[in-house]
Amino acid sequence: MQRADSLALPAAAWGSEYLEDTSLRRLVMEHYDQEHASLLRYLNCLGLDADSAREIVQESFLKLHEHLLRGGDRTNLRSWLYRVAHNLARNRQTAFHTKKVDALDALPGAGRLSSQTASAEEELLNRERLQRLWQAMGELSSAQRECLLLRAQGFKYREIAEVLNLSISAVGENIQRGLEKLKDLCL
């Protein structure tokens, strides 16, 4: 998976000349095209409904535009985006008292789990396994769940720490304990 921060252009390209020649809008849209699907997946797994997740994704990219317009730090825009989206999601869950995924119900995208190569029996088994895993995720603490979801999106511990405002050691501990709990509940 290509990562948004790998979009980094040569250092000279970030100068004012580049910004005059190329719209920040295009840069934001490049990030959008690369990251919006994985951001939506993350928000979906946090328990947000599809409409709220889409609104938060859009708001996050508008904030990215503001951030770039002010000459904000560009060293890891992927983490920055997730951090903003995560905080927006948390605020929304608090403000509207929506479910905080303590009780996860529907498996996200359950209809997309079918595989053309798997037999009907294998498919059913896979679906049951994932359903069990999804339910077990609801038994984890929110920090454990968030760390594991970000890890599943390919984030390193240092980046997860940046997104969730945790220490790297706390991230490691959450991942280890979360996996241990999932192992007990699912396997």
Residues that bind other proteins (CB under 8 A): 23-25, 28-29, 32, 36-38, 40-42, 44-45, 50, 54, 57-58, 61-63, 65-67, 69-70, 72-73, 83-84, 87-88, 90-91, 107-113, 126, 129-130, 133-134, 137, 148-149, 151-153, 156-157, 162, 165, 172-173, 175-176, 179-180, 182-183, 186-187
Distance between CA 120 and CA 90 in Å, rounded?
39
Q: Which tokens go with 123?
A: 């498919």
User: From the CB of 147, what's the least distance to other proteins, in Å?
Assistant: 11
Return the number of the residue (10 or 103) whose C-beta is nearest other proteins. 103
User: From the CB of 116, what's the least distance to other proteins, in Å?
Assistant: 15
User: From the CB of 2, what's the least distance to other proteins, in Å?
Assistant: 15
**Phi, psi dihedral angles at 107 (to 5 degrees):** -70, 125
The stretches of 70-107 forming alpha helices (DSSP H) are 77-95
First-to-final CA distance of the chain:
28
Mutual orientation of helices 168-186 and 157-164 as an angle, nearest 10°? 100
